[in-house]
Amino acid sequence: MHLTLSHLPSKQDIKLVYPRTPSSIDPNNPPWPAFRGYHTYSFAYATMGHRLPTILGKAIDDVVETLNQESEEDRVVDLVDCIKRMDELKEDLQAHAKLRPIIDDGEADVALWNKEIAKYFQGKDFMNAPWLFAEAYKYRRLRECFSVSKLWQQYDVFFRQKCDTFSRSGDAVFELSTRFVEPFKHKEGLSAQEKLDAERLMFLELTQICLWGNSTDLSLLINMTEEQIKSLQSTGGENLAATEKNILGNDMARLWEVVRDLKDTGGRIDFVLDNAGFELYCDCVYADFLIQSGLAKEVRFHGKRYPWFVSDVTKKDWNWLLNMMVYGHLFPKVTDEEVESLRQLGLRWKQYEKEGKWVYEQHPFWCTGYTYWDLHNEAPDLFLHLSRSDLVIFKGDLNHRKLTYDCAAPPSTDFEIAIGPMASAAGAPRICSLRTIKSDVVVGLGPNGDELADKLDKEEPGWKISGKYAVVLLSEGRPGEKVRFA
Ligand SMILES: [Mg+2]
């Protein structure tokens, strides 16, 4: 046999590897190149090599503090064992150990974790597995340190930190509570159009408050001073016009149209939550307005089943916030009026819960290593549930990474392309991502997005991790279509 030129692939046939075709995408091979811990100089590298060991070190300090205040021998011994397991995890992390299966600790997600490890990550370690999976795996292993214990199964190593940060956010907390304690009402004598305009302005302002409330993510702010946190939290109106310039992909106008059209019947809006404390408080202020204005008749909040990425919301954090608002003494040097505004707000929110207008949920899928490209396949019940929502708002950086498969998609990529089946599957709900940019993946910046990102790379290195910039991105989905599973 001899070689003829016609047997060689022509130039035109050479296909770009990225984006991969849907059938060749899996958790170790995202649609565009994955971020991995061994990419020196990347945020993934900084996270896996430095940030996670630091977070784990602080977590161990917290448990030691708890240990030192414990008196019963069986509880002390049991907790010492938890600390030993945390030390082992820290060593595994620093030695770039291979990812082992999760021990069966009775959690609802064990099978999901071990299936994913077996299918896609055999022989992989903390540094060469995709960053998203490796980072999530670390938090699952941290959970295991306690879930296999006898007496400390529910212990949250981050709880103290979450409470402290909220307690130090007093200025912003009272700014919002004194302003929003009076239920939303229109002024006398407005026309229908004027009322709608007032609602639109309030909606846009609260969308930004909810967005920028995401700035205080404890897993990402380990070196931030109190002053820096305060400046991120300031919520004044003039400020918002300025901060809107920093929303690089901005679908807020379309988002308003979606929400406005729910008004006649009152829609169901879901929040897939990010952080506890101040961010959760901002989410609730926003959700409160959605209920009062009649735009929504039902709001569902989706939190985590156990401590996750330091500051993510658990049921305990949710209960803590509402109870501290009503009964707590968290803030020194406050006026009676301020305390009362917070109390009234808390009472109103508890009432929403009693009436079923607000519902808190915690599906096991949210604490797995899967991205949301796999939500349809791996958690069909959750997909079906979300498909019945009129709008699902995903908060924060981790949710955004999971929506977009956390890979190096070009910044000009359309949000609906970047989130794959969450936009294209039959019955996919409308989705909005409210995210301050704190890690590498950036999409939805529009046709000139690649140039814009290049420019920022040159002029403001670190723009992707500073939290100064944000995106508000909307996917129309395929609502109303019948959901199908293979
Ligand atoms: Mg978080």
Output the 3-class SS for 278-339: HHHHHHHHHHHHHHHCCCEEEEEEECECCCCCCCECEHHHHHHHHHHHHHCCCCCCCCHHHH
Summarised one tens digit per residue, pLDDT across range 69-107 is 999 999 999 999 999 999 999 999 999 999 999 999 999
- pLDDT category at 221 given cuts 50, 70, 90 is very low
Ordered DSSP codes for 45-57: HHIIIIIHHHHHH
Q: What is the pLDDT of residue 50?
A: 85
- Which residue(s) pair with 369 in the sheet? none
pLDDT of amino acid 25: 96
**What average pLDDT does this structure show over 379-399?**
98
Q: What is the predicted pLDDT for the residue at 190? A: 94
Is residue 371 scored above 80 in pLDDT?
Answer: yes
Distance 214 CA to ligand 1 centre (A): 8
Quick one: which of 14, 146, 126, 143 has its CA closest to 78?
A: 146
Ligand 1 mean position to 439 CA, how many Å? 12
Distance (Å) from CA 77 to ligand 1 centroid? 31
What is the residue extent of each domain of the chain?
22-148, 162-475
Q: Is the dihedral of CA 213, 214, 219, 223 positive or negative?
A: negative
| Token representation of residue 103 | 């021990």
Q: How far is the CA of 434 from the centre of ligand 1 (A)?
A: 13
Task: Say how many Å lie between the CA of residue 484 and the centre of ligand 1.
Answer: 31
Alpha helices for 148-218 (secondary structure H)? 159-167, 170-180, 192-212
Residue 17 has pLDDT above 90, yes or no: no
State in Å: Cα 312 to ligand 1 middle: 5
Tally: H helices and E strands in the chain: 20, 7
- Would you identify the CATH topology of the domain 22-148? Transcription Elongation Factor S-II; Chain A (1.20.930)
CA of 466 from ligand 1 middle (Å) equals: 15
User: How many angstroms separate the alpha carbon of residue 285 from the centre of ligand 1?
Assistant: 19
Among residues 138, 143, 164, which one has the least CA distance to residue 276? 164
Which amino acid is located at 376 in the chain?
H
Token pair of 341, please? 């505004």
> For 296-348, what is each residue's pLDDT tens digit?
999 999 999 999 999 999 999 999 999 999 999 999 889 999 999 999 999 99
Measured in Å, residue 424 CA sits from the centre of ligand 1 at: 26
Same fold, 22-148 and 162-475: no
* Residue 308 alpha carbon to ligand 1 centre in Å: 7
What's the fold here for domain 162-475?
Answer: Rossmann fold (3.40.50)
DSSP letters for 148-163? TSSS-TT--TTHHHHH
* Residue type at position 61: D
Which of the two residues, 43 and 206, has the higher pLDDT score? Answer: 206
Average pLDDT score over residue span 15-42: 87
pTM, full prediction: 0.93
3-state helix, strand, coil in the chain (%, to 5): 50, 10, 40
